[in-house]
Amino acid sequence: MGNTAKDEALYQEMCRVVGKVVLEMRDLGQEPKHIVIAGVVRTALANPKIKRSALAQEAMEKVVHALSGN
């Protein structure tokens, strides 16, 4: 079994990432489809200027994987 505290923290961060993207897309009048959300997160990950915690980085990578199947 894994570290349940780390797993819970990762899950919470994944939810935060997806929620933020969905709300921003709504504010822009866009429909938040899963593949579009994955693309937004993937684009954010590609920006080397933004420093993220290891937890945020892992959460974003897992969100992309979960939503795009890659």
Model confidence pLDDT, tens digit, residues 30-52: 888 999 999 999 999 999 999 99
Helices (H), the chain: 4-27, 34-45, 54-68
How many structural domains are present in the chain? 1
For range 56-64, the mean pLDDT: 95
Please give the average per-residue pLDDT across 42-64, as a whole number. 95
Give the angle subtended at the CA of 68 by the CAs of 64 and 37, to the nearest 5°. Answer: 60
* 15-30 pLDDT per residue, tens: 999 999 999 999 999 8
Query: According to the model, what pLDDT value does residue 23 have?
Result: 93
Tell me the C-alpha distance between 14 and 57, whole Å.
10
Which range marks the domain in which residue 52 is found? 4-68
Confidence (pTM): 0.82
- Side-chain half-sphere CA neighbours of 19 within 13 A: 6
Distances (CA, A) of 11 to 5, 28, 38: 10, 26, 16
